[in-house]
Structure 1
Amino acid sequence: MAALPRVTYVAHRGGAREVPENSMSGLMAAYARGTAQVLDFDTRMLRDGTLVVMHDPTLNRTTFAGGAVRGLNVREWQGMRLRPRASLPGSWRSERPPTVAEVLDRFGGRIVLMVEAKDPRSLERLAGLIRSRGLTRSVFVNSNDPAVARHAHRLGLLAQLWRSAEQLRRDRPERWRPFVDLLDVDVNARDADLARAVRSGIPRVWAHTVVTPRQRDRALALGCDGVITDTPGRLARGRGPGRG
């Protein structure tokens, strides 16, 4: 974490408009391209407690199967296959969606990771995976719930809290300063709400989900020091001078 640049770029779900989201091949491509300093992915828990990489609660949108992710065990998970979107640039093959352990083993210690814990019940198990690999200072654990962020902090993890534009209208971010390491703010929020987040005293304030240079430049002009993007390759090509 300490080695991150002044302005940090995050490949959201690996860069979901450029690669198959939450896939090992997509994360590997984002890492190899070097256009982001952080790789983001989502986690869910199977019925046997295995943590896997998946955004949705169901398999329907991103795989060839259907039904609830939590209804599977790890053996059944091994039989799932991701369905790359036809609109993605390049050629992508179907592949098995990874487990969280596999992603941590592949990238842990090589690049900073951002993990959204979709199931708060999984937090203790996720903490165990991170601690056992010595990655507590290089993995942000993300949630929309301040109570989950506080729990992550108490577990010795880097706590990240994301907030929508509507939530930021009512939020008082300075209240979270004691336990939030990274505030993740909606790029569509009002200027005043983004500026208030930046002034909160939380060490890092990054904007999501950025897809255009104009969105990026506005967030940075308002004081955000990170960009969470579905298009890290595109934004890197358009990166202005002095942006890290």
Structure 2
Amino acid sequence: MVTRTALTGIAGLTSLALAGQGGAIAPLEWGAGPLTVSALPRVVYTAHRGGAREVPENSMTGLMTAYERGTAQVLDLDTRILRDGTMVVMHDATLNRTTYLGGPVDALDRRDWQGVRLRPRDALPGSWRSERPPTLAEVLDRFGGRVVLMVEAKDPRSLRAIATMLRERGLTRSVLVNSNHPAVALRTHRLGLLSQLWRSAYQMRTDRPARWRPFVDVLDVDHKARDRDLVRAVRSGIPRVWAHTVVTPAQRDRVLALGCDGIITDAPGRLARARVRAWSRRQGQGQDQGQGQGPGQRGAMP
């Protein structure tokens, strides 16, 4: 539940009539099945945790707001597993930072989860009410097939449960499963899911991402990495290279100029309002290149 003001209409996203058959979501407008990763545009914007500088992170209301605003083609969320195996949407291993409660998430069961309430940050724009954080099943049932989802599996032991949920809903080509560990990305691939691997700037100094090309669908790189490390990632042969966690237009413009083809951001609305500008290593700025498109091509020298 939320009080929202000045929301724009849905931009570039189609409101779907959904029909379930055998547990799978089938958007009628597409006919063949749900929206998939292969249908994404050349340059992709992802709302990180729903857009955590604009909405309450990992909340159903935040994800719905990001979807309705239409400023991102992918919605990102984090998952944890409760003691009874229930998959829930939560970033931290404890409740302390984002809810009114405390203690470890995996000490709760599904019944306990009904009593958890998110605590919206005071710094968020607008007026937000507290709400229960969703389960993964609730998010998949609301958004599956309507928009591409990025699910970070904070608990690698949950991979099989996630795979089962995606298969039952016909969403194995519509949801990216994200992790920081190459071994988890490989397991994800072997389970028949789309694998996404994120790496920190420190890790990228010694990474050789071309080794992961056979089993990584999206490489998720730190925008704070050195130019040479970003370019090495772009040239790895991995189909998509997206940069996290971008919050300013200048950060976005740099990674696009170095060849990244996706932006993972806490502020999708802010970036949607700012034109992409050509980036110069010497000056850090340049001339307008138009909104939503990177100024350089994949693999171009910085």
What range describes the TM-score normalised by the shorter chain of this pair? Answer: over 0.9
CA contact 1:64–1:81 (8 Å) conserved in 2: yes
Q: Which runs of 4+ in 1 moved over 4 A?
A: none
State how far apart, in whole Å, the 1-side matches of 2:239 and 2:291 are. Answer: 20
Residue matched to 1:116: 152
State how far apart, in whole Å, the 1-side matches of 2:251 and 2:167 are. Answer: 35
Q: Cα offset for 1:239?
A: 3.3
Q: Classify the secondary structure of the residue corresponding to 1:59.
A: coil
CA contact 2:272–2:291 (8 Å) conserved in 1: no
Amino acid at match of 1:120: P
User: Structure 1 residue aligned with 2:244, among 181, 201, 208?
Assistant: 208
Residue matched to 2:296: none
Q: TM-score, normalised by structure 1?
A: 0.99
Q: Cα offset for 1:243?
A: 2.7
Q: Cα offset for 1:3?
A: 1.3
State how far apart, in whole Å, the 1-side matches of 2:271 and 2:167 are. Answer: 33
Amino acid at match of 1:189: A
State how far apart, in whole Å, the 1-side matches of 2:212 and 2:153 are. Answer: 18
1:243 paired with 2:256, answer: no
Q: Cα offset for 1:242?
A: 5.6
CA contact 1:208–1:227 (8 Å) conserved in 2: yes
The higher relative CO (CA closer than 8 Å, separation ≥ 6) is in: 1
CA contact 1:194–1:222 (8 Å) conserved in 2: yes
1:156 paired with 2:205, answer: no
User: Structure 2 residue aligned with 1:232, among 268, 277, 283?
Assistant: 268
CA contact 1:6–1:243 (8 Å) conserved in 2: no
Amino acid at match of 1:243: G
User: Structure 2 residue aligned with 1:72, among 101, 108, 111?
Assistant: 108
1:127 paired with 2:163, answer: yes
Residue matched to 2:182: 146
User: Structure 2 residue aligned with 1:165, among 201, 208, 226?
Assistant: 201
Q: Classify the secondary structure of the residue corresponding to 1:94.
A: coil
State how far apart, in whole Å, the 2-side matches of 1:83 and 1:139 are. Answer: 27
State how far apart, in whole Å, the 2-side matches of 1:74 and 1:33 are. Answer: 31
Q: Cα offset for 1:39?
A: 0.1
Amino acid at match of 1:15: G
1:162-195 CA distances to partner (integer Å, 9 max, x unpaired)? 0000000000000000000000000000000000
Residue matched to 1:13: 49
CA contact 1:165–1:189 (8 Å) conserved in 2: yes
Q: Cα offset for 1:2?
A: 1.4
Residue matched to 1:97: 133
Amino acid at match of 1:238: A
Q: Classify the secondary structure of the residue corresponding to 2:243.
A: strand
State how far apart, in whole Å, the 1-side matches of 2:238 and 2:275 are. Answer: 25
User: Structure 2 residue aligned with 1:180, among 200, 205, 216?
Assistant: 216
CA contact 1:183–1:205 (8 Å) conserved in 2: yes
State how far apart, in whole Å, the 1-side matches of 2:124 and 2:217 are. Answer: 33
Q: Cα offset for 1:45?
A: 0.2
Q: Classify the secondary structure of the residue corresponding to 1:28.
A: helix
Q: Classify the secondary structure of the residue corresponding to 1:26.
A: helix
Number of residues of Structure 1 aligned to a counterpart in Structure 2? 244
1:62-120 CA distances to partner (integer Å, 9 max, x unpaired)? 00000000000000001100000000000000000000000000000000000000000
Q: CA RMSD in A?
A: 0.6
User: Structure 2 residue aligned with 1:221, among 257, 262, 272?
Assistant: 257
State how far apart, in whole Å, the 1-side matches of 2:88 and 2:94 are. Answer: 12
Compare the two structures and name the one with the higher helix fraction.
1
Residue matched to 1:87: 123
CA contact 2:272–2:292 (8 Å) conserved in 1: no
Trace 1:33-52 onto structure 2 (pairs within 5 A): 33-52=69-88
